[in-house]
Amino acid sequence: AARELGRAELMAEAGVAAPAIRAASRTKPYDYLIVGAGFAGSVLAERLTSQLGKRVLLVDRRPHVGGNAYDEKDAGGVLMHKYGPHIFHTNSEEVFRYLSQFTKWRPYEHRVLACVKSGLHVPMPINRTTLNMLYGVNLSTDAEAEAFLASRAEPVEKIRSSEDVVVSQVGRELYETFFRGYTRKQWGMDPSELDKAVTARVPTRTNTDDRYFTDKFQSMPLDGYTRMFENMLDQKGLTIELGVEYEDVRDEADFDRLIFTGPVDEYFDHRFGKLPYRSLRFRHETLDQEWFQPVAVVNYPDEAVPYTRVSEYKHMTGQASRRTTVTYEYPSAEGDPYYPVPRPENQALYKKYEALALDTPEVLFVGRLATYRYYNMDQVTGQALATFRRIAEREGRAVIQ
């Protein structure tokens, strides 16, 4: 028979701590309050409790752990990434070894196709196959492809912007085909206004390697990211409160030190003005068919198409299902902060916040939003591990990672 669930049970079902639990957990004394249960906050929560025996209260405004890497099964039973496709790759043995304590892995090499204006699907990053398909040529060696690109590349005296970096390598036509429209959609500004580091994330190749990444370690957590976070956060001395704003625990909770992994400008009440972050709107669709597209991600560089890319999770997760789930990404100025926007004026504004952060030694700022860096998951993990090492050193404690 159906039964009425109490408020506490309902909230527990939604993954949100009930008020009674909250009140009790906040009155305990904690060594650390950590704001944000993404990679930055969770790695630090795990290290501080398991290695130094600290008492930690970890809070997140979202009703789940994992930050932007959170995944869950949707109504159709397909494991999907709520905040867009997350592919793990790293060259850092330390980071890979660290995370391997909390998950087994599924080897996965990411491949992306770009759907160009003519409807042709070609490998992205640009490689020899891309050139052969696009131009109907038959470049058969690296040297031939290199000469082909060199004949199109435009010399740029000082490479500053995201336009310069591509045009100087492949010329204007390929830049327009693959980069200009995509970047204008993704960032809401022209590549000429963005730091070179943005498009430089995507290499150009003269061989036929069609993998998106060439890192030494490339794999997906076998049972998903959320499960990996749950294993990481299963620690004695760690209390987790979800669906909770920092503002709402700040005065109530009893803690010595604070680690903040949200947007740094928000922490300082936007004292110097808002730091720009780019957002996305996700359209998730579960389809009653086994597959939707040939690879995990198809990019749409054509500016006339309103979304930037479509991701199909089963390619990444290896899940067998007769249904499939895809996500369309629509970039937007409003919404949750997902990407810091790398350009000189934003960096200058961030520097002001960074100086303020350095003047606030009782608070540590860690992660993609708190240090305003376009970091991947492995880089944030590495940053959190380095922060932990500094904490341990300060306390004169030797640690093994």
Binds 201: which of ligand FAD, ligand UDP, none (CB < 5-8 Å by kind): ligand UDP
225 binds ligand UDP (CB under 6 A): no
Comparing CB distances to ligand FAD, the nearer of 175 and 365 is 365
Q: Indicate left, alpha or beta for 318 from its phi (over 0: left) and psi (-120 to 50: alpha).
A: left
CB nearer ligand FAD, residue 55 or residue 278: 278
Rounded to the nearest 10°, the torsion over CA 50, 55, 60, 64 is: 50
Phi-psi region of 171 (alpha: psi -120 to 50; beta: other; left: phi over 0): left
Count of C-beta atoms within a 10 Å radius of residue 78? 21
Residue 349 interacting entry, from ligand FAD, ligand UDP, none, C-beta within 5 to 8 Å by type: none
Q: How many residues lie near ligand UDP (CB under 6 A)? A: 13
Site for ligand FAD in 64-83 (CB under 6 A): 67-69, 83
Q: Which residues of 342-361 are buried (b: 16+ CB within 10 A; e: fewer)?
A: bbeebeebbeebeebbeeee
Within 10 angstroms of residue 394's Cβ, the number of other Cβ atoms is 8
Site string for ligand FAD, 116-155 (x = CB under 6 A): ----------------------------------------
Residues near 71 by Cβ (< 8 Å), separated by ≥ 6? 79, 80, 81, 82, 86, 224, 225, 226
Cβ at position 278, least distance to ligand UDP in Å: 9
Exactly one of 17, 32, 34, 39 binds ligand FAD (CB under 6 A); that residue is 39
Least Cα distance to 226 among 8, 15, 9 occurs for 15
Residue among 31 and 302 whose Cβ is closer to ligand UDP: 302
- How far is Cα 24 from Cα 115, in angstroms, rounded to an integer? 54
Q: CA separation (Å) from 282 to 79, 315, 338, 385?
A: 16, 19, 12, 31
Q: Which of 127, 130, 235, 299 binds ligand UDP (CB under 6 A)?
A: 299
| Closest CB to ligand UDP among residues 191, 243 | 191
326, 282 Cβ separation under 8 angstroms: no
Report if residue 350 touches ligand FAD, rule: CB under 6 A: no
Q: Is it true that the peptide bond before 125 is cis, omega within 30 degrees of 0?
A: yes
User: Is cis: bond before 63, omega within 30 of 0?
Assistant: no
Instruction: Based on the shown chain and the rule CB under 6 A, indicate whether residue 179 belongs to the binding site for ligand UDP.
Output: yes
What count of Cα atoms within 13 Å lies in the side-chain half-sphere of residue 27? 5
Site track 193-222 with ligand UDP (rule: CB under 6 A), x = hit: -----xx-xx--------------------
Q: From the list 33, 326, 369, 385, which residue makes contact with ligand FAD (rule: CB under 6 A)?
A: 369
Least distance in Å: CB of 191 to ligand UDP?
7
CA distance 56 to 42: 11
CB atoms within 10 A of CB 129: 17
Beta bridge partners of 106: 220
Minimum distance of ligand FAD from residue 269's CB (angstroms): 11
Residue whose CB is less far from ligand FAD, 39 or 96:
39
Which of 98, 182, 260, 313 touches ligand UDP (CB under 6 A)?
Answer: 182
Residue 156 amino acid letter: V
124 binds ligand UDP (CB under 6 A): yes
Closest to ligand UDP by CB, 223 vs 303, is 303
| Closer residue to ligand FAD, CB minimum distance, 39 or 178 | 39
Residues forming the site for ligand FAD (CB under 6 A)? 35-41, 59-62, 67-69, 83-87, 245-246, 261-262, 280, 338, 367-369, 375-378, 380
Residues forming the site for ligand UDP (CB under 6 A)? 114, 124, 178-179, 182-183, 186, 198-199, 201-202, 299, 301
